[in-house]
């Protein structure tokens, strides 16, 4: 029984992996590097590999399959980086993890408040010792109508928090949650776009909702809307968002994820020329917060992510029901 961990962080994940390995009697190996052809062979002799979001396209899966790897163990809730059709064709099973929804939910609330209160402007001016009030006039979250797209565990937790703030809450989800309906009004996307002053995204990416927020969606929104995304970058067409920011339709944005973040977030790119024009343009807006995919990052989440990989692996290898398996 064995797992090889790629992109394992020695400062937080490794101590946890060592502890859980002893508890569950599962051997593991590890590298701090992301999977690439030069290091695929490190996984030889291991039944499973674990990774954070990275390239898990068909050629990569085929390479690991040829080395004898049977299980892909994602250390993330999301698994859209894995080619599910290729995994199914190769007979590889794919697992994902869960962790407390409060971490991401609270981070989303923080981004809302920072965007509404113009924190980026306040911070930059304070760093230049400009303590005037000009250009810093913000909006109170408690007075806003907030639209929540996606009411799973994280979205529902956001809604409970917003209810505590006294917000008027609109919600959209193809599968309404009766508990959420006690705190928020389920409405159509069109109505949510038309009435929400803040829109926060908490949905997985599917073929149907890819670039959910596009030019048409932004056109349907009210003026000076705030956009928050702690879910998946592919939910937003970032060129459309840039146009909406330039036109003044969007007041500001708090983005913890970007569509083309692979190879950027979680890497040290100090001094590099980064070929990502959308990211560069978004960074140029004074009322846009770009957070490098850290909404999940708490001690509780790290423990659950590492432990979840071992639990999925043990179930796969032992023939029992895994805690979280991707249906291929």
Q: Is the Cβ–Cβ distance between 233 and 265 less than 8 Å?
A: no
DSSP conformation class of 248: T
Burial of 53 (C-beta count, 10 Å sphere; 0-12/13-18/19+): buried
Residue 181 in tokens: 């309906």
Asked if residue 217 lies in contact with residue 194, where contact means CB atoms within 8 angstroms, the answer is no
DSSP 206-237: -TTTTT-B-HHHHHHSPTTEEEEESS-GGGB-
- Crossing angle, helix 277-284 and helix 238-247, to 10 degrees? 30
Q: How far apart are the first and last CA of the chain?
A: 23
3-class state of residue 256 by DSSP: coil
Q: Tell the burial category of 293 from Cβ atoms under 10 Å away from its Cβ (0-12, 13-18, 19+).
A: buried
Q: Which two tokens stand for residue 98?
A: 């869960």
Is the distance from CB of 243 to CB of 218 less than 8 angstroms? yes
Q: Is the dihedral of CA 113, 170, 229, 151 positive or negative?
A: positive
Please give the positions annotated as active site: 232, 261, 293
């Amino acid at each position: 029984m064995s797992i090889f961990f790629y992109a394992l962080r020695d400062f937080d994940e490794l101590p946890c992996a060592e502890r859980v390995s002893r508890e569950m009697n599962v051997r593991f190996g590890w590298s701090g590097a992301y999977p690439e052809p030069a290091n695929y062979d490190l996984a030889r002799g291991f039944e499973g590999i674990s990774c954070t979001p990275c390239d898990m396209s068909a050629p990569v899966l085929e390479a690991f399959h040829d080395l004898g790897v049977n299980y892909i163990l994602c250390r993330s809730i999301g698994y859209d980086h894995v080619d599910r059709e290729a995994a199914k064709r190769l007979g590889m099973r794919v697992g994902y993890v869960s962790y407390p929804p409060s971490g991401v939910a609270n981070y989303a609330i923080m981004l809302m408040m920072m965007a509404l209160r113009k924190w980026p402007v306040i911070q930059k001016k304070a760093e230049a010792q400009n303590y005037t009030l000009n250009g810093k006039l913000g909006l109170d979250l408690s007075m806003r109508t907030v639209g929540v797209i996606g009411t799973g565990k994280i979205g529902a937790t956001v809604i409970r928090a917003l209810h505590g703030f006294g917000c008027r809450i609109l919600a959209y989800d193809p599968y309404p949650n009766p508990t959420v309906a006690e705190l928020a009004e389920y409405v159509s996307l069109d109505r949510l776009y038309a009435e929400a002053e803040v829109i926060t995204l908490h949905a997985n990416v599917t073929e149907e909702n890819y670039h959910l927020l596009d030019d048409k969606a932004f056109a349907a929104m009210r003026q000076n809307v705030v956009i928050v995304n702690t879910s998946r970058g592919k939910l937003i067409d970032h060129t459309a968002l840039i146009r909406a920011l330039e036109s003044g339709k969007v007041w500001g944005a708090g983005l913890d994820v970007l569509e083309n973040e692979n190879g950027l977030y979680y890497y040290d790119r100090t001094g590099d020329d980064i070929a990502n024009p959308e990211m560069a343009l978004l960074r140029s807006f004074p009322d846009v917060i770009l957070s490098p995919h850290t909404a999940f990052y708490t001690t509780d989440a790290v423990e659950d992510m590492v432990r979840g990989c071992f639990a999925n692996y043990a179930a796969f290898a032992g023939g029992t029901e895994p805690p979280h398996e991707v249906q291929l």
